[in-house]
Every structure is written in C-alpha cells, then in structure tokens.
Structure 1
C-alpha cells in the first residue's frame, strides 16, 4: 500500500537523490515513498494526496534529463486538489544567472495542472545573479533551494527548517 506522500526526483550525479533521502529521513520513512524518475517515471504520481518533487537545474537553466524525458507527460496530469512542494538543486557560483531555473519551470507546469503549491523558502543566505524560481514578490523561492556545489554545509539545516512547513501545509 502506498503512503500519503510521494517524493519523485531526477538525479544524474546523485546529489538530488541524496537530498531526497535526507528529506525522507526528516519526514519519516514510514510516511513517504521515494521514486526515482529514471526507474519509475510518473506512473504512480497520481496515487498520492501529497507530492514532493526534486529537480536539479543543469547548465544554463536546463532541465535534468530524467525530467526532460517525462516533461510532456506532465501535461496529461490532473493535479487538482493535490498539494505539492518542490526542492531544487543548483550552483549559485558556476551558474548564478540560472540558479534553480528548472524548479521555476516545474512550479509553473504544476500550477497549470491544478496543483496547490506550498513549501516556498526564503532567499536569505543565497548568492546568485538571477532565478526563474522566485515568487512574484521575489522574497522566496517556489521551493527549497539547495546548492550541493557551494553550500552543502547548509543543506541539513535548510531541510530541517523546510520539512515542518511542508508537513503543516500537507496537514500530515
């Protein structure tokens, strides 16, 4: 039997996978199912009341290949009434002009499919040039921003601060 929370992620280098596992640990493994897109695709996504989706940004604001492979399938989903939180990985220094852009694109796609988004995270403590993952007010990212290249020492604390806000929004 599935749990209420499904976490789907794409990971090429293993960084997004490691962060997904840290998030699952913070939530509790008894409450969440992890799905790697390369292995599982999106087939089970609509089984969950609550979703957490993890997406790294590649190069110049591009989608990671696992997400690129399923991108068109997202247009077929009915996410009305589904609460969804995002986490994204990026490199503030090497690709500061495109920091977390893929997370912004995923956010917009999910909103267009009816998802109720939550888990926005303050931009304080980040040093980047531009991002398409900002809220309209530009004081938060549309999900948890993580940078394993330049700020990996802050990942555990950021996850610890983010997870309770997501669970509150999920009523879980």
Structure 2
C-alpha cells in the first residue's frame, strides 16, 4: 500500500494532546519527523503533505488551545483544496460537559470552506457523556474526541478504531 504523505500537528498545553498525538502517530507508523507542535506550522510544511492530522485540546469556555490561533491563520492562508484533513482533540466531559471538545468543532468550522476533504469525521457519540459540543455535526463527532481525564480506559480503543478508519479512508 502506498501511503500518502501524512503530517500530524498538535496544540497541547498540559501534554495530554501531545501524548494522544504520539499514540496516533505510532499507530499510523508516522516518523517523529512528521509530527509537529502547531507552533511549527507553516505554509511550506503544509505544502509537503497530502494528509494533515490536526489536534487541539479545548480550553476555557470551549476555546482552541492557544497555539492554534496562529496555526489556524496559517491554514486559512494556504490552498487546502487538494488536502485531506482529520481532526482530533481532548476535552473534559465532566467539568466542561457543555463545551466538550469544542476545539475540534472550531477547527472544523474554520476549515469547512477551505475545500479540503475531511476524513475520520463520523465518530459515534454514544460512548460519551456530555451535554453539548461544537464538534458534533449530524449526530457524530467531526473528529476523534478524547476525554483522557474521565474516560482514560477508553482512550486506546478509541484511538485504534479511529486510526483504522483513517487507514481505510487514506487508502
């Protein structure tokens, strides 16, 4: 199988999203040189890859991880029409049940009109407990939602299921 060139960009404040990023990268057999902190996101880096995996944690009242504010501006400034994008993120479904993983939804909303093709964007919500999320569209998460704080026992299986779906969709 000729895998497309995949890069993973994450924004992580406490290290949880970074840890999830490296678990995803390992399952996709990505080289560490293809995994980046979003602070290293540039138009040149985007141009090198066909598939972009973008990860963010959710902060405050459903906000992006701080480093993503510059990162999303970089992505808005490049042509993503020939890019495939998959989103993942971390949230706290107990303390922030009404904004659970909103960061994923914010990235999705910002990139929806970019012409990119989303994959891994129909993650079932049934094994999660939360009140509301901007990351839900048509009854499913638009990317992989992880609650490593309250549901850490489900994290590895959720990653594995999602990565298997990505492998099918990437081809």
The TM-score normalised by the length of structure 2 is 0.91
- Report 1:84-163 matches (<5 A): 84-120=85-121, 121-135=123-137, 137-138=138-139, 140-163=140-163
Is 1:64 aligned to residue 65 of structure 2? Answer: yes
CA RMSD of aligned residues (A): 1.6
Cα deviation for residue 165 of structure 1 reads: 0.7
- Contact 1:99–1:128 (CA<8 Å) still a contact in 2? yes
Is 1:76 aligned to residue 86 of structure 2? Answer: no
Q: For 1:153 and 1:119, how far apart are their aligned partners in 2?
A: 21
Cα deviation for residue 124 of structure 1 reads: 1.4
Structure 2 runs not aligned, ≥5 long = none
Aligned length: 166
The TM-score normalised by the length of structure 1 is 0.91
Q: Which runs of 4+ in 1 moved over 6 A?
A: none
Taking a change above 3 Å as real, the CA distance of residues 4 and 148 of structure 1, as seen in their structure-2 partners, is same
Structure 1 runs not aligned, ≥5 long = none
- Contact 1:46–1:79 (CA<8 Å) still a contact in 2? no
